Amino acid sequence: MEKVIVGISGGVDSAVAALLLKKEGYEVEGLFMRNWDSTINGDVLGNPNSLMDICPQEQDYNDALELCKELGIKLHRVDFVKEYWDYVFTYFLEELKKGRTPNPDLLCNKFIKFDLFIKEAKKLGADYVATGHYARIKDGKLLRAVDLNKDQTYFLADVPPQNFRNVLFPIGDYTKPEIRKIALDNNLNVAHKKDSTGICFIGERNYQKFIENYLKPNPGPIVDVETKEVIGTHTGLMNYTIGQRRNVGISGNEQRHYVCGKSVKDNILYVAFGEDNKYLMSDECEIENVNFISGLRPTFCTAKFRYRDTDHAVELVYLENGNIVVKYPGLAKAVTPGQACVLYLGEECLGCGFIKSVRLENTNLWYLQN
C-alpha cells in the first residue's frame, strides 16, 4: 500500500483531501505545520499571553487532531517557525521597505509547503505528499482547478517544477460546494469551519498595527499625481498598495482617490483621482526571478497580475538576463511592483516572475518605482 502524507491545516479542504485519499486505498497520515509563533516573534501587541494571538493556530491544531482521530489516521506535527521567518517573513519586510507589495503565500509554498514539508514527509516514509490546494497535476503539468473561482495555481507558480513530483491535489477536480457537501455527508468536525483569509501571520489583526511591530512608521505627504498638491498625510508607505481606495487618509473625496505610486526616496504617496485614471494603467511590465514550471516558452499567452485578476492577453519578450518583458496593449490597472505575474497557456500554469517595473506607452512610470 502506497503511503501519502497529507498537509492537514485544520480546515475543510485538507480534511476532505485526506478523506478522499483514504477512500482511494492509500495509507494516509497527516502532518500539521506550525509556521508562526506570536510569542516568539514579538507581535502580541503588548500582551504575551494574548488569547487573540495564540488561540487561532492552536485551535487549528486541535481541529486537525480531532479530524485525524475521526478518520483513524496518525497526525504528526512539525515546527517551521524559524524557517518561515528566514525564508518568508524577512523577505516580506524587505520588500515593504522598498515600497513594493510582496505576496508571502507564494514564498510559503516555494520554501515551506513544497520543500521543507516534502523533506519531512519523506522522513516519515511517504511515497506521495498531498495538500488541500485547488489545483491539478496531469502528465507533469500544473493545471487550473475545476473550480476556477477557487483555483490556487497563482500561489503555486513559484514552486520549482521538480518539487511537484509525487504531489497529489485530491480536491482539484471538485468545486468548493462539492467539498463542503463531502465534509457534511461524512460528518467531519470542520465541515462548517470558515475558510481562512488574508495573510496567515496577520490573521484577524489590524494590518497597520501588526506591521508597526517590525517597521517604524514614517508618515509623509499624500500628493495628487496630476495637480502635485499635497492633499493628506500617509502613515507609512508600507501600509499602502497600488490601486488601494479605502483608508488612504484623504478627507473629502477619499473614495474617489486611488493609490497610484510611491516614492521611497522622498517618502511620498501618490494618488490619482478616479478609478480609470491613466496613472493607474500600464501596458507592459518587466518581471524578474522567473520560475518556469512548464517546458514551454511561448511568445503569446495570458497573465494574471494578482490572484483575483482576470486573464490578460500578453506578449512575452525574453531578455538575456533571464527577465521577461510582458506586454499587454489592452492595458491593465494597478499592476504592482513586488506582486507575481503568473503566466498561463489555456488551463496550464506555465510559471511566474515578480514584477520589477511597470510602464505605460513605453515610458517608465517613475512614480511607481523610485
Query: How does strand 257-263 pair with strand 363-364?
Result: unpaired
For residue 137, which amino acid is it? I
For residue 315, which amino acid is it? E
Mapped onto helix, strand or coil, the DSSP state of residue 177 is: helix
Catalytic residue, candidates 68, 108, 301, 341: 108
For residue 43, which amino acid is it? D
350 touches 292 (CB < 8 A) = yes
200 given a catalytic annotation: yes
108 given a catalytic annotation: yes
C-alpha cell at 278: 491613466
Of the candidates 284, 288, 318, the one whose C-alpha atom is nearest the C-alpha of residue 303 is 284
Q: Which strand ranges, in their side-by-side order, compose the sheet holding 75-79?
A: 75-79, 27-34, 3-7, 128-130, 167-168
**Distance (Å, whole) CA 42 – CA 130:** 32
C-alpha cell at 133: 490546494
112 touches 155 (CB < 8 A) = no
C-alpha cell at 277: 485614471
Residues classed as catalytic: 108, 200
